[in-house]
Structure 1
Amino acid sequence: MILSGAEIVIECLKEHQVDTVFGYPGGAVLNIYDEIYKNADSITHILTSHEQGAAHAADGYARSTGKVGVVIATSGPGATNLVTGIATAYMDSVPMVAITGNVPVSLLGRDSFQEVDITGVTMPITKHNYIVKDVNELADIMREAFYIAKEGRPGPVLIDIPKDVTINKVDYEAAVPKEVKRCSKHITEDSIKEAIARIKASKKPYIYAGGGVVISDAATELESFAKKVHAPVTCSLMGIGGYPGRDELYTGMVGMHGSKASNIGVTNCDLLIVVGARFSDRVIGKADKFANGATVLQIDVDPAEVNKNIISHHAVIGDIKKVLRVLNERLDQQDHKEWLAEIGEIKDKYPLKYSGDGLSAQYAIEKIDELTKGEAIITTEVGQHQMWAGQFYKFSEPKKFLTSGGLGTMGYGFGACIGAKVGNPDTTVINIAGDGSFRMNFNELLTAVRHNIKVIVFVINNGVLGMVRQWQTLFYDERYSFTTLNQDLDYVKLAESMGAVGFDITTKDEVEEVLKKALDEIRPVIINCMIDKDDKVFPMVAPGKPIDNVMVE
């Protein structure tokens, strides 16, 4: 079958059962977009307001569904506008295929109109990338890209296609996608035996779970493992949802804004079992004081993570779901009642708390949790609201908390919210945003309205860049350098001007009523919730301090 390069792109998307792509057209991808138009019955295209929003939408789609997210952009500025979204996906191990156009092969390297070396630009932030200069290679590269994006530790792959390659024709043969198998080649008998021996020898084990648990669909196995080890469980920000937030063994987040029980427990344990976590600096604080009395047992699919930030005493390398299944089969039931009682006392003594007198973000998030029964998909931007969402929404399932944990991308949440809703049309999807982040991406409200994507954006509005101001208060003698927004914006009118619905919340009594109206609404909703500019996220560990040095107020 003789097909053009553009037709081959579409056929390869169909081979991989891609039903949705996000993007923004331009001259270099006109031929691809022409084929999308012809194949509208099988592939839905979501036109965003900005390419960065498209990249974040593909990311949110991928995180919430487990499928590969696909984004398309034209050459030059279209391609470079994807960079932040690609880097966000790379840092958080999200499977994505980004397809960019470029100038014809004969014009490459000549500073042509809208030409950029996007493969050079994205080399450090992709698992792999390609520039396709021969249409004969296009189908194989497309197939390989989808495989690489999903295989092992997932991540984004970029395919740059010059315009003449989308025009040129070649004989195309359909193929069945290569099966992506769970990584098990490094799971050895010796590594399993050693892990079991260390667990059995422990008197005070603690489980620290990261985003790898969510990515590998290992939440069920982790819960069984925790019960078997009889150990408390803490999660990184990326790991939230990987363990049930209401379970008695769960002690909340660990690290800079982790619970006191988690931070003290990790510091005092004798065995730290690290499952799919990268030892972020925001988790470990002062590295030489992090769990320095414990044996560290690390389970991860990526051998590059072992001994990168913290030295591990033993590691099992392989897909987390497979490793935990083997351990659950081989490990005898353990008993650590005294240790759990000790941690329980700390939990009871230092619960997460906030002033209940007036309207606060914490109260509002607890209400969101209550009214959605902990079953909504929650996306966030980056800042105080992100930490409050991780602390006060009790996630019961994985893939329900979508946040930029590694890159810390303000502007991520709204695009991700749209992508998650497209991938999960029957699930309530709410983006919890700060007013600073909302300023970066509210153009995507037009996307939600245009495509009738029913999402809720809950703006926690304190009129400042809240987390930066918090640091300025605590560590910079209250020198508030350019963190006061002075934003005189009518959110209700803004929403209405774009065809959405807007609500204001200024008192605690309004929260439940407005949320119920928003949940019943059939159009996209913006909620503006006013809080005090000096509300802070606690607990908090000062940067560079040991994580058991916790400020609780």
Structure 2
Amino acid sequence: MNGAQWLVQALVAEGVDTLFGYPGGAIMPFYDALYGASLRHILVRHEQGAAFAANGYARASGRVGVCVATSGPGATNLLTGIADAMLDSVPMVVITGQVPTPLMGTDAFQEVDVFGMSLPVVKHSFLVREVEALPEAVRDAFRLARSGRPGPVLIDLPKDVQTADASHLPPHAPAPADALPAPLHGPLDDALALIEGAQRPLVYGGGGIALGDTVGVFRAFVEATRLPTVLTLRGLGALPASHPLNLGMLGMHGTREANLAVQEADLLVVVGARFDDRATGKLDQFAPRARVVHLDGDAAEVNKLRHAEVAVLGDLCLALRRLTRAQPDCDDWRAQCLSRKTEYAARYDAPGPSVYAPQLLARLSALAPEAVVTCDVGQHQMWVAQHWRHTHPRRHLTSGALGAMGFGLPAAIGAQLQDPASQVICVSGDGSFLMNVQELATLGRYRLPVKIVLLDNQRLGLVRQWQQLFFDGRYSETDLSDNPDFGALAHAFGIAAFRLERADGVEHALHCLLACEGPALLHVCIDADANVWPLVPPNRNNAQMLFNPEDADAPLPA
């Protein structure tokens, strides 16, 4: 048994069933060891696709995603997907080939210091210089990826270590993830007192709810305390969109009722959120009347951007169970929040013959209520956040903190492979889609039944919107009117495709898309000038939202 063969059996022992990658010279011994092994390897068509697919696999399942590439350009092509996993706390183990140890530092063919390059975007990097170090590196890589705040870990594996004799190494023994500590009683008692004494308390939930496997307990906490709740982009689904206490997403493109509630609250119960700038708007004017109870598994997030009167650190499940006994007297506040939710509910009766993207997405969500939806980045991402009826955060996969275009299609591939029985829908924009369009070949090869909804406005829509509103209509390099025929492109990869141009064809087109047995693409032509509303302008607080000026019911700018 050589080092590469030992690594394959170690991955199996860690519970890995699927990995995503692309072979090359320095990783060839590992690929030779994969030949005939029980692991399922998915051959993507670009290493960035491998990283995003492993990322989507991990986000949808909660398990560690694994991707593999060779040295040099193979490794550097992974870095964007690794950075995305780091910033959104996604558990991944990344394996890269490296030139043989005697050649390291000599500028050998395809030699790049990926260990050094990756340091800012991983929880830890391992450069395995001898085969005897392999067991500890693999054990610690998976343990670190899963533990605490999850994230990516890199194993850089020189070619001679892969081919070295490993017959003397013991069978791999996985290490359990490090458990989060139980929260202290003192801060919990202080948090209870603040919640029960508040007149306008509000729950502000984030991505840490799913990361801590806390969704069920979080829902029980909201039910028991009956506190109005707002969610971040990555917290969507922690409370179902249908829940009466869910006011929706806060922040730059948040709902009016959510942003107004935040600005008027006298207490924020922050659960697994990090006061991201897209959520807070102008930070020094964010929730100006509110004290803060901050619950988080990562102590580094507490007091980083907003002072917390009470910090509850450690296991979120234990903390929320203790706080469930709180019974604040806030009936008037709750009624006000819920009244606004009804008053400001989204409307889908857009005039004219063009397809109205929010209405299409709301209808698709109703037709596929349990689907996993993946997004790229741009206007379509915000419309999905606003108008999809999210039921669980692991069914909404989006590049939150990094905002990486090209994420959606490979992430959908990973999500489909983690549960072949699930329904997976990728919503993309014409700009983002072409960033990793080559993964249509992966979709076609494995006949994965992913459904793609491509919203095509022939523009880089979100950038164009900002140029319209804040750069005096100077539309610099956002025109994509020379887009290819996306239907013909899908057909070239053996994928069914449909085209939708009019609002009166939405229902038929969606039914045709969902009825396809294999992969399919719906090319949706939308208005090039359509904007995402509401919008909090830069350097404004969340109450100072802009609304569609064509809407007769739009309030005047604050």
1:308 aligns to 2:311 (yes or no) = no
Secondary structure of residue in 2 paired with 1:440:
coil
The one of 471, 477, 490 equivalent to 1:476 is 471
Residue 351 of structure 1 aligns with which residue? 345
Residue 43 of structure 1 aligns with which residue? 39
8 Å contact 1:214–1:241 — kept in the other structure? no
Following the alignment from structure 1 to structure 2, what is the Cα–Cα distance between the partners of residues 223 and 523? 35
Secondary structure of residue in 2 paired with 1:160:
strand
1:58 aligns to 2:58 (yes or no) = no
Correspondence list, 1:399-548, <5 A: 399-548=394-543
**How far off its partner does 1:181 sit?**
4.5
Residue 258 of structure 1 aligns with which residue? 254
**How far off its partner does 1:315 sit?**
0.8
8 Å contact 1:230–1:336 — kept in the other structure? no
8 Å contact 2:202–2:268 — kept in the other structure? yes
Following the alignment from structure 1 to structure 2, what is the Cα–Cα distance between the partners of residues 521 and 38? 33
**How far off its partner does 1:488 sit?**
4.1
**How far off its partner does 1:353 sit?**
3.2
- Number of matched pairs: 545
- Relative to structure 2, which stretch is displaced further, 58-67 or 484-493? 484-493
**How far off its partner does 1:38 sit?**
2.5
8 Å contact 1:152–1:302 — kept in the other structure? yes
Secondary structure of residue in 1 paired with 2:435:
helix
Q: Deviations over 1:248-271 (max 9, x none)?
A: 000010000001111110111111
Residue 330 of structure 2 aligns with which residue? 336
Following the alignment from structure 2 to structure 1, what is the Cα–Cα distance between the partners of residues 385 and 55? 19
Residue 172 of structure 1 aligns with which residue? 169
Following the alignment from structure 1 to structure 2, what is the Cα–Cα distance between the partners of residues 511 and 216? 38
1:184 aligns to 2:181 (yes or no) = yes
Following the alignment from structure 2 to structure 1, what is the Cα–Cα distance between the partners of residues 232 and 328? 24
Correspondence list, 1:204-223, <5 A: 204-223=200-219
Residue 294 of structure 1 aligns with which residue? 290
**How far off its partner does 1:176 sit?**
3.4
**How far off its partner does 1:354 sit?**
4.9
Correspondence list, 1:144-159, <5 A: 144-159=140-155
TM-score between both structures, scaled by the size of structure 1? 0.97
Following the alignment from structure 2 to structure 1, what is the Cα–Cα distance between the partners of residues 215 and 151? 20
Q: Deviations over 1:272-322 (max 9, x none)?
A: 011001111001111111012111110111000011111211110112223
Residue 320 of structure 2 aligns with which residue? 324
Following the alignment from structure 1 to structure 2, what is the Cα–Cα distance between the partners of residues 119 and 325? 41
1:224 aligns to 2:220 (yes or no) = yes
Following the alignment from structure 2 to structure 1, what is the Cα–Cα distance between the partners of residues 401 and 311? 23
**How far off its partner does 1:196 sit?**
0.9
Cα RMSD over matched residues? 1.1
What is the identity, as a one-letter code, of the residue corresponding to 2:66? V
Residue 393 of structure 2 aligns with which residue? 398
8 Å contact 2:234–2:393 — kept in the other structure? no
8 Å contact 1:491–1:503 — kept in the other structure? no
What is the identity, as a one-letter code, of the residue corresponding to 1:311? H
Following the alignment from structure 1 to structure 2, what is the Cα–Cα distance between the partners of residues 175 and 111? 34
Residue 125 of structure 1 aligns with which residue? 121
- Relative to structure 2, which stretch is displaced further, 442-451 or 357-366? 357-366
Distance 1:188 1:488, change over 3 A: closer
8 Å contact 2:198–2:328 — kept in the other structure? no
Following the alignment from structure 2 to structure 1, what is the Cα–Cα distance between the partners of residues 298 and 517? 43
Following the alignment from structure 1 to structure 2, what is the Cα–Cα distance between the partners of residues 296 and 552? 29
Following the alignment from structure 1 to structure 2, what is the Cα–Cα distance between the partners of residues 131 and 309? 34
Following the alignment from structure 1 to structure 2, what is the Cα–Cα distance between the partners of residues 319 and 22? 32
Structure 1 residue runs of 5 or longer lacking an equivalent are: none
- Relative to structure 2, which stretch is displaced further, 202-211 or 339-348? 339-348
**How far off its partner does 1:227 sit?**
2.0
What is the identity, as a one-letter code, of the residue corresponding to 1:507? R
Following the alignment from structure 1 to structure 2, what is the Cα–Cα distance between the partners of residues 338 and 377? 36
Secondary structure of residue in 2 paired with 1:458:
strand
What is the identity, as a one-letter code, of the residue corresponding to 1:157? V
8 Å contact 1:96–1:156 — kept in the other structure? yes
**How far off its partner does 1:327 sit?**
2.3
Equivalent pairs: percent with the same residue? 43
